Each structure stands twice: as C-alpha cells, then as structure tokens.
Amino acid sequence: MPELPEVETTRRGLAPHLQGRLIQAVTLRRPDLRWPIPAEVARDLPGQRITGVRRRAKYLLMDVESGDSALLHLGMSGSLRVLPADTAVRAHDHVDIALAAKGRGAGQVLRFNDPRRFGSLLWQPAGQTHELLQGLGPEPLSDDFDGDYLFELSRGRKAPVKTFLMDQAVVVGVGNIYAAESLYRAGISPLRAAGRVSRERYLALADAVKDILGHAIARGGTTLRDFISPDGAPGYFEQELSAYGRGGEPCPRCGRPMKQANIGQRATVWCGHCQK
DNA sequence: AGGTAAACCTGGACGC
DNA sequence: TGCGTCCAGGTTTACC
C-alpha cells in the first residue's frame, strides 16, 4: 500500500495525537510480523512520553524520552489509527499502544493493523541508527536529490530506469505507483536502461518525482483499496493518476492505448508514443 | 557489484 | 455458492 506520500500522510495524522503523550501499555496480539517484534517494545515503551514522530524513507520513527525509537513500516497493507481506547478489536489488529487520557477525557489507542503482515515494528536504541535505515538513498523532496545525482549514479547501469528509480538505495520513497507516474510525466520509457537516460531527461525526472510526491502528500496520498489515514480519511490522489492502473486505456496526452507489462516483477503502465 | 527472481502473507476480484 | 487462479501500494534474501 504505502509509498512516501502515504507514510508522510500517516506521520502528519499521527503527530498531533502522539506528541507529548504518555504511553500506558503495549499489547502485542500477533508479534510475528515481517520480523518478530523485539522485547523492548513491550518492555521499555510503557511509562514513557512520546517526544516526536519522524519519517525516514517509508519508515516511521516514534521517539520517546529515553532517546529510543519504535521503528514502524507499513509494508503493503499496514495502517495506523488513533482510536478511542474502547474501540472493538478487528481482524489483523496486531498491536495496540495505549495512550494515557489527557485530563479527564477517555484514553486513546494507537492501533496497528496489517492483513498481510509485511509490515514491521522494530526497535532503535538511543544514539543508534537501525540497520534497515543504513544504506538508504536521499529523501526525494530534499536538495540532495536532483537530476545530476540521478545521472551520475546511473552511468553504466543496465537495469530498467523504473527499477533504478524504485531502488531505495538510489532514492527512497518511490514505489510502484509514483515511479510509473513520474516516468510518464517525464516522458521516459520505464524499459529504458538507467544508464541510457540523458542528464537533461534525469532533470525532468527528478522534477517530476518531487512535484508528484509533493502533490500526492497535499491530497493525503493514494487510496486504491485500503490505505487510510490515522483519522480514518482516505487519500484523494487516485483520481489524478495518469498511468498507474490505466493499462489499455487511452493515454491522457495522445489518446493511444497505454501499454502494460511487468518490469522487475511489478505491473507497469506507460505510453509507447509519449515515453521513449 | 549489478541484476533478477523467489519468498514472505492475506483478501478480493474474477472465471468456471 | 464454491473453488481455483491471479493480483496487490514492499523489501529482504538468495542466486547468477
């Protein structure tokens, strides 16, 4: 489900609810997610105040006073909601982080639901960077990411440019939806070898990535099946998708039918006329 | 080292 | 209605 805009939407939805709140208890109903949930999560979180919610790539970091962080990844089907503490538990509600009541109001719970269990809840000790966060590429919305960077890094690479763009060691946060959209916007065929894309066209691609991700965040992300923000709202970017999910439909630009094929095991849609 | 494919898991859509 | 097949927003791991 979630690429950078959906994770950032989740972060923005969570932050105001979690900032400064006291964690009362942690309930693990199903500790076997992508990886087992480390013992520290249930042992060290209760009694601590949340100091912030950050995002790096598609990971969320919930920081607490001790300097430790809970590291969350939503995988393909994960979602985080802030709910009244007495909300009935549903299928695939794997983890609850109970928040102490503010004043005399009722308490709330941060609930992690993930049908496919590709998501994860891990632990990053104070002062350390989790192994999974090492070796990641730059944030696409930062100044470290631009067309020159893509051009230099791609020299000699034979993998398709779409595969290159989705490689989290190249740039983080771009998944299957936004890779297709960005390449469509930039007029680059997803099949083209990464090393065979010019500097000029990488400038257009980097601009497209930034623009599309920024716009998707402003729309609250893309809801295809099940993405939902912490407040329960869907994202509204789906209606603005030009390529993803439109195989066989007319190209919005030239009207010719959009092509579809698997590239790097992922369904890919593009226009054979507008993208070279 | 780069490139590719399998693997992890569940639910929904579809065809028969 | 039921069953088999295919597909899905991610990423590690293994292998060439």
Q: Where are the domains of chain A?
A: 4-133, 147-270
Work out if A116's Cβ lies within 7 angstroms of strand B: yes
Nucleotides of B under 7 A from a protein CB: 2-12
CA of A236 to C1' of B12 (A): 21
**CATH class of residue range A147-270:** mainly alpha
DSSP-derived letter for residue A122 is: E
CA of A265 to C1' of B5 (A): 8
**Residues A201 and A189 sit within 8 Å (Cβ to Cβ):** no
Q: What percent of chain A has pLDDT over 90?
A: 92
Phi, psi angle pair for A29, to nearest 5°: -90, -30
Residue A105: what pLDDT? 74
Span A204-232, average pLDDT: 93
Active site residue A238: no
A29 labelled ligand-binding: no
Which residues from the 236-255 window of protein chain A have CB within 7 angstroms of nucleic acid chain B? none
Residue A94: what pLDDT? 98
CA of A267 to C1' of B13 (A): 17
CA of A47 to C1' of C11 (A): 33
Residue A228: what pLDDT? 87
Phi, psi angle pair for A273, to nearest 5°: -95, -40
pLDDT in tens, A46-72: 999 999 999 999 999 999 999 999 999
A92 labelled ligand-binding: yes
pLDDT in tens, A84-123: 999 999 999 999 999 999 877 789 999 999 999 999 999 9
Q: CATH second-level architecture of A4-133?
A: Alpha-Beta Barrel (3.20)
Span A205-221, average pLDDT: 97
Catalytic residue among A11, A55, A58, A246: A58
Tell whether the torsion through CA atoms of A215, A219, A222 and A228 is positive or negative.
Answer: positive
- The answer, yes or no, to whether residue A1 has pLDDT greater than 70, is no
Span A200-207, average pLDDT: 98
pLDDT in tens, A132-189: 999 999 999 999 999 999 999 999 999 999 999 999 999 999 999 999 999 999 999 9
Work out if A28's Cβ lies within 7 angstroms of strand B: no
- The answer, yes or no, to whether residue A224 has pLDDT greater than 90, is no
pLDDT in tens, A244-264: 999 999 999 999 999 999 999
What does the block give as tokens for A122?
Answer: 């891990």
Cβ density class A263-276: b for 16+ within 10 Å, e for less: beeeebbbbeebbe
A43 labelled ligand-binding: no
Active site residue A234: no
Which residues from the 64-83 window of protein chain A have CB within 7 angstroms of nucleic acid chain B? 77
Compute the mean pLDDT over every residue in chain A, rounded to the nearest whole number. Answer: 96
